[in-house]
Structure 1
Amino acid sequence: MEQQQDTREHDDQPGPLAGRIALVAGATRGAGRAMAVELGRSGATVYVTGRTTRTHTSEIGRSTETIEETAELVTAAGQETGGTGIAVPTDHLEPEQVRALTERIDREQGRLDVLVNDVWGGDHLLEHPFRGKMWDQGLDTGLRMLRLGVETHIVTSHYALPLLTRRPGGLVVEVTDGTAESNRAYREHFYYDLAKTAPIRMALALAEELRDLGCTAVSLTPGFIRSEAMLDTYFKVTEENWREGIKQEPTFAVSESPVFVGRALAALAADPDVARWNGQSLSSGQLSREYGFTDADGSQPDCWAYISEVIHGGKEADAAEYR
């Protein structure tokens, strides 16, 4: 029998999100994991999903991060605020699995306050650096990328939004790579461009669908994020010595830990006036200035401003000025 979760507010649950129920779809690692942890730190009960568990590894091939571990990290972070993590293995390309997930949340909680569509898992399908024309790229690989980065979000919203919209105040966050402004420029890979621009448009569309129900939809992007794979696969560094990666890629100087976008999400979810952002494309750097939070090291990196003004705009400035 599935254990019922007690999410009632108590005096020993002072977190700003105590009593709130969240679903972070795609929380195995990286931004998704960090966002789930920060929601838990703020007192929320967080359902975390993904395909990699302690007994099964997804096509990405990384067995070192699992959704069970994410749930444990959420609960540990929420020890003083009442936050709890609940791991539910889910393939978001399988509608019946997503239906079962949302029915479970309904059965156990009777509500959903925050939906984070962070499902991706397509980096392993990319060639680095990007190269070749659209017609030179494998069709099956490209379509798989779109399924992972776009269809998963649609399937999840289809089943989760009827639960989220039962009461006003719900928040939907479409996680992507890039802002509406930065993604006006071609992302140098046909399928990647579509996969990362689509969530921005989804948030814009859902904002209109949700407006009269008193709910909010936004898109949210980290900057140059130091995910587990970025650190150990691409740069061969750790979080402790990440600055060594600047020798390989100068823009890595304005990179950020996953904690930064996690704090951005938690700030949004706790904002009683979050509806002012409805339909907008937001970034961790932008929100850090708005809400006053910092990255784990106390800095406020703004990767997208650096890329726009220095890399593409030709401004003479040191990367340190954007931290």
Structure 2
Amino acid sequence: MTTENTTENADDKPLAGRIALVAGATRGAGRAIAVQLGTAGATVYVTGRTTRDRVSEVGRGTETIEETAELVTAAGGEGVAVPTDHLEEDQVRALVERIDRERGRLDVLVNDVWGGEHLIGSSFGKKTWDIGLADGLRMLELGVKTHLITSHTALPLLTRHPGGLVVEVTDGTTAYNGTRFRENLFYDLAKNAPIRMAFGLAKELADSAGTAVSVSPGWLRSEQMLAGFGVTEENWREATDKVPDFAVSESPVYVGRAVAALAADPDRARWNGQSLDSGRLAREYGFTDADGSRPDAWGFLLAKETDPDTDPADYR
């Protein structure tokens, strides 16, 4: 193999030889992140509760972790599906032990576990005491406790080698969430906690030259979101007839490319502890969404607060 070809392959597969765990990769952002890490050449362990034999409480059997793993492999990486409930410590421990046994290292941990969409529709805008306590606490279990269990269990392996990356996936950035109440107290806590987790882990990973960040997609056209609007990825713009602001939405590919770009950046430590979003990272790294656009949903929402006539087309 010539030097020229070696360089070319390295450019095409900057994450070749890297081991990643995407916790919560059944669908949406998690699936797209896993696939884009695979596109960059990584071996990606993908986890979730919905398999071809079992459907989680989310109630969607149309997407499975096995399918995600196959998509990772088809993209050029190696996908490994491991059914895991990240609220079950024994299952998470077995997962990490398997990665250690099979690979001996972990370079990228993406905490994307959520699965609480079925709990939020009837709770948005309600007072804390008007929300069923079981539902509210379940949001915190799914969006916070899962992340803590996974980090607590996986970080000893990740820190074994210097330079590891931890990505806490959430909804919103410090700039947006910091002065705004996100729908209800339980949801607000669930989506702000990962931002603080990344901030804290950034301090704790310093000894191993690790980097921790939180990353938020914008208005994400996940499978569930598209179904809620009654559209598909192919005709999603039809939904803007009812909700014009949906024009600033983005496909899951966008945040997937954001995380892959971070993972491949040898200078990513400059982001340590920060709250990032797909639009900002697109401007930094030069990638686009699948359709060639560059949405900035959070910029649009901030601008609209001061100018209600802000055109979403100006933020694509």
For Structure 1 versus Structure 2, the TM-score category normalised by the shorter chain is over 0.9
Question: Which stretches in structure 2 are left out of the alignment for 5+ residues?
Answer: 1-5
1:309 and 1:317 map into 2 onto residues whose CA distance is: 7
* Residue among 292, 313, 316 paired with 1:320: 313
Whether 1:34 aligns to 2:32 is yes
Instruction: Give secondary structure in 2 for the equivalent of 1:272.
Output: coil
Instruction: Give secondary structure in 1 for the equivalent of 2:47.
Output: strand
Amino acid in the other structure paired with 1:197: N
* Residue among 230, 235, 239 paired with 1:236: 230
Report how far residue 250 of structure 1 moved: 2.0
2:137 and 2:206 map into 1 onto residues whose CA distance is: 32
Whether 1:212 aligns to 2:210 is no
1:137 and 1:72 map into 2 onto residues whose CA distance is: 39
Question: Which stretches in structure 1 are left out of the alignment for 5+ residues?
Answer: 1-8
* Residue among 185, 193, 202 paired with 1:190: 185
Contact between 2:123 and 2:131, CA under 8 Å: does it hold in 1? no
Q: What is the match of residue 170 of structure 2?
A: 176
Matches for 1:141-156 after TM superposition, within 5 Å: 141-156=135-150
Contact between 2:169 and 2:215, CA under 8 Å: does it hold in 1? yes
Q: What is the match of residue 85 of structure 2?
A: 91
Q: What is the match of residue 281 of structure 1?
A: 275
- Per-residue Cα deviation, 1:257-296 (whole angstroms, up to 9, x for no partner): 0000000000000000000000000000000000000000
Instruction: Give secondary structure in 2 for the equivalent of 1:71.
Output: helix
Q: What is the match of residue 47 of structure 1?
A: 45
- Per-residue Cα deviation, 1:207-228 (whole angstroms, up to 9, x for no partner): 0001122000000000000000
The list of structure 1 runs, each at least 4 consecutive aligned residues, that deviate by more than 6 angstroms after superposition, is 9-13
Report how far residue 189 of structure 1 moved: 1.0
2:258 and 2:277 map into 1 onto residues whose CA distance is: 8
Instruction: Give secondary structure in 2 for the equivalent of 1:240.
Output: coil
1:146 and 1:200 map into 2 onto residues whose CA distance is: 14
Amino acid in the other structure paired with 1:319: P
1:226 and 1:176 map into 2 onto residues whose CA distance is: 15
Amino acid in the other structure paired with 2:32: A
* Residue among 99, 124, 129 paired with 1:135: 129
Report how far residue 131 of structure 1 moved: 2.8
Matches for 1:39-78 after TM superposition, within 5 Å: 39-78=37-76
Report how far residue 315 of structure 1 moved: 6.1
2:132 and 2:310 map into 1 onto residues whose CA distance is: 39
Amino acid in the other structure paired with 2:311: D
- Per-residue Cα deviation, 1:135-179 (whole angstroms, up to 9, x for no partner): 000001100110000000000001100000011110000000000
Instruction: Give secondary structure in 2 for the equivalent of 1:181.
Output: helix
Instruction: Give secondary structure in 2 for the equivalent of 1:192.
Output: helix
Amino acid in the other structure paired with 1:44: A
Report how far residue 26 of structure 1 moved: 0.1
1:124 and 1:276 map into 2 onto residues whose CA distance is: 37
Whether 1:166 aligns to 2:160 is yes
Instruction: Give secondary structure in 2 for the equivalent of 1:150.
Output: helix
Instruction: Give secondary structure in 1 for the equivalent of 2:208.
Output: coil
Report how far residue 55 of structure 1 moved: 0.2
Amino acid in the other structure paired with 1:313: T
Of Structure 1 and Structure 2, the greater helix share is in 2
Report how far residue 10 of structure 1 moved: 12
Pairs aligned (count): 309
| Residue identity (%) | 70
1:313 and 1:122 map into 2 onto residues whose CA distance is: 31
Query: Which range moved further: 286-295 or 313-322?
Result: 313-322
- Per-residue Cα deviation, 1:191-239 (whole angstroms, up to 9, x for no partner): 110000000000000000011220000000000000000001x100010
Q: What is the match of residue 100 of structure 1?
A: 94
Whether 1:271 aligns to 2:265 is yes
1:176 and 1:222 map into 2 onto residues whose CA distance is: 8
From the superposition, tell whether residues 319 and 12 of structure 1 become closer, same or farther in structure 2 (CA, over 3 Å). Answer: closer
* Residue among 253, 259, 269 paired with 1:259: 253
1:305 and 1:128 map into 2 onto residues whose CA distance is: 27
Whether 1:19 aligns to 2:17 is yes
After TM superposition, the score normalised by the length of structure 2 is 0.95
1:265 and 1:29 map into 2 onto residues whose CA distance is: 16
1:266 and 1:132 map into 2 onto residues whose CA distance is: 37
Report how far residue 246 of structure 1 moved: 1.0
